[in-house]
């Protein structure tokens, strides 16, 4: 099964528009054979869509807090999310890291969300590529800290989204060949954290300038089990993107 995450970020501005985008995605989701979609709208809109969920279409959050209740003004509790029938969340998106989230904070969020039984999409990615391979250490450290002491039994709920920050919001994604190289590196690192066999079961997604016309190549040649889509997930072309990925045998 492949996964496509629709990260709407702080868009659109009205519930009415959100409902339109959702219904387009929902329509195509009914025909899917090999793909599940997790739509992550702004948290304020999310509860409006939970009733329409089914096996191939889920609602998720874009971020979650690492405590389940208490004096934390403005935070989103994983327990409350589950109570609202929201069972998935992105953690550690580069736009959150840019606002100050550290690997240590992301680790707490991953732990709590997994303990609460949520599906977690952990985002990792380097901000720029040097010629000496230092970016590999960045990725390694992000994984090692975020996933330290994670119980093996909760790994079935974990997905890792590799998103090179320089390819997010850009015009071109990373090349499929380079994505393939990174998936091997990430699997190897996951193998050090857990076991080789367990590492193989953790889906790796790619994100960063994925559009309807490049999605297929990224999945086929990049060795990824899915995609994390920003801008394109708000447009009508997202339907073509989903169909193109689902058609891959
Ligand atoms: P983009 O965003 O698809 O608009 O590049 C991806 C992301 O931020 O996850």
* Tens-digit pLDDT profile for residues 230-247: 999 999 999 999 999 999
pLDDT tens sequence across 95-113 = 999 999 999 999 999 999 9
Identify the pLDDT of residue 185: 97
Kindly state the average pLDDT of the residues 166-187. 96
Q: Residue 8 — φ and ψ, nearest 5°? A: -75, -15
Average pLDDT value over all residues in the chain: 97
Query: What would the two tokens of residue 215 be?
Result: 């999605």
Q: Is residue 208 in contact with ligand 1, taking CB distance under 6 Å? A: yes
Q: Which ligand 1 atom sits closest to the C-alpha of 209? A: 5
Catalytic residue status for 163: yes
Identify the pLDDT of residue 198: 93
Say which of 107, 126, 163, 232 is annotated catalytic: 163
Q: What's the CA-to-centroid distance between 169 and ligand 1, angstroms?
A: 5
Identify the pLDDT of residue 231: 98
Distance CA 47, CA 194 (A): 35
Helix (H) and strand (E) counts in the chain: 9, 8
Q: What's the CA-to-centroid distance between 173 and ligand 1, angstroms?
A: 10
pLDDT tens sequence across 102-145 = 999 999 999 999 999 999 999 999 999 998 889 999 999 999 99
Identify the pLDDT of residue 197: 93
Distance CA 20, CA 76 (A): 25
Identify the pLDDT of residue 246: 98
Say which of 66, 93, 126, 232 is annotated catalytic: 93
Identify the pLDDT of residue 67: 98
Q: What's the CA-to-centroid distance between 69 and ligand 1, angstroms?
A: 30
Give the bridge partners for 4, in sequence order. 37, 227
Banded pLDDT at 170 (limits 50, 70, 90):
very high
Q: Is residue 82 in contact with ligand 1, taking CB distance under 6 Å? A: no
Catalytic residue status for 93: yes
pTM: 0.97
């Amino acid at each position: 099964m492949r996964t496509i995450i629709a990260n709407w970020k702080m868009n659109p501005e009205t519930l009415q528009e959100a409902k339109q985008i959702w219904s387009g995605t929902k329509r195509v989701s009914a025909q899917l054979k090999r793909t599940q979609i997790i739509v992550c709208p702004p948290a304020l809109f999310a509860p409006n869509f939970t009733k329409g969920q089914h096996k191939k279409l889920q609602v998720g959050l874009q971020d979650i807090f690492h405590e389940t209740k208490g004096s934390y003004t403005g935070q989103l509790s994983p327990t409350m999310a589950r109570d609202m029938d929201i069972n998935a969340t992105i953690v550690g998106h580069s736009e959150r890291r840019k606002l100050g989230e550290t690997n240590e904070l992301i680790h707490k969020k991953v732990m709590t969300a997994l303990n609460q039984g949520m599906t977690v999409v952990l985002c990792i990615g380097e901000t720029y590529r040097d010629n000496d391979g230092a970016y590999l250490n960045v990725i390694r450290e992000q994984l090692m800290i975020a996933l330290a002491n994670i119980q093996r039994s909760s790994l079935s709920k974990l997905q890792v989204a590799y998103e090179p920050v320089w390819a997010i919001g850009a015009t071109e994604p990373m090349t499929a060949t380079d994505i393939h190289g990174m998936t091997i590196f990430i699997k190897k690192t996951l193998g050090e954290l857990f076991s080789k066999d367990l590492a193989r079961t953790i889906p790796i997604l790619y994100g960063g300038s994925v559009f309807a016309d490049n999605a297929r190549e990224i999945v086929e040649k990049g060795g990824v089990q899915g995609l994390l889509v920003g801008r394109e997930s708000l447009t009508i072309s997202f339907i073509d993107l989903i169909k193109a990925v689902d058609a891959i045998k």
